[in-house]
Amino acid sequence: MHLDLPDLAHAAERLQHPQPTARKSARRPARESAETLALLSQRRSTKVAQLRAPAPSGADLEALIALAARAPDHGKLGPWRFVVIEGEGRARAGAALEAAAAEERRESAAMLFARAPLCVMVVSSPKPSAKVPEWEQILSAGAVCYGLLIGAHAMGYAGCWLTEWPAFDARARAALGLADDERIAGFVYLGSAAEPPLERERAEAAQRITRF
């Protein structure tokens, strides 16, 4: 897709040439967006097996990641990182996982990333901080995952946010290049939906509201 919004056009560039200090002079007034509300109210995950090419790539993907990196982040620590698994990288990541997997999982491990054209592994990478609790840093990584999904949908793609067994397996995490203090916040698989997903039942929000 072609990105012609000024924010998006600069997003990839900012990602490659990060500015140490944000321009504090750039005030952003709140703006209504019916399209955003519609997108949020209709977003659905697409099963990984239903994800086909095209997926975001090149400048689109860099812009998408830059958008996701705007997730709320107390202290500007950037307590997360992105590992892009696409093209032949999918087989390389699968091979790394296969080597680390228990016998009964090896075959599926090798093919894990082949299921979709793109997977962005979001790694929660908490930074030492006297001010920002680790819990907040972990939550920020979750917000990044959701930002990837929302941004991808707004670009016309589909996706899903999975963890699956590698997120809970220390050997798998190491094989994918994570340090001991890092965790996988999500494998965000992206592509185009083979067919639009059906709506699903939702947890009833109203029943989960209490008031002081």
Binding site for ligand FMN (CB under 6 A): 44-45, 160-164, 186, 200
Looking at the Cβ atoms of 46 and 64, the one nearer to ligand FMN is 46
Looking at the Cβ atoms of 18 and 196, the one nearer to ligand FMN is 196
Q: CA–CA separation, 131 vs 134, rounded Å?
A: 10
Q: Cβ of residue 186: shortest distance to ligand FMN, in angstroms? A: 5
Q: CA–CA separation, 67 vs 56, rounded Å?
A: 13
Looking at the Cβ atoms of 45 and 108, the one nearer to ligand FMN is 45
Outline where 83-201 has alpha helix (H): 89-100, 106-111, 134-154, 170-175
Q: Cβ of residue 172: shortest distance to ligand FMN, in angstroms? A: 13
Looking at the Cβ atoms of 200 and 211, the one nearer to ligand FMN is 200
Q: Cβ of residue 48: shortest distance to ligand FMN, in angstroms? A: 8
Q: What is the DSSP letter of 130?
A: S
- Tokens coding 165: 């067994």
Give me the residue whose beta carbon is nearest to ligand FMN: 45
Q: Is 166 exposed, middle or buried (0-12, 13-18, 19+ CB in 10 A)?
A: buried
Which single residue is written with the structure tokens 């009833």? 204
Q: Cβ of residue 162: shortest distance to ligand FMN, in angstroms? A: 4
Which residue type does 164 have? E
Q: CA–CA separation, 78 vs 116, rounded Å?
A: 27
Q: CA–CA separation, 188 vs 166, rounded Å?
A: 13
Looking at the Cβ atoms of 200 and 208, the one nearer to ligand FMN is 200
Query: CA torsion angle for 160, 165, 168, 169 (degrees, to 10)?
Result: -140
Q: Cβ of residue 47: shortest distance to ligand FMN, in angstroms? A: 8
Q: Cβ of residue 77: shortest distance to ligand FMN, in angstroms? A: 20
Looking at the Cβ atoms of 90 and 183, the one nearer to ligand FMN is 183
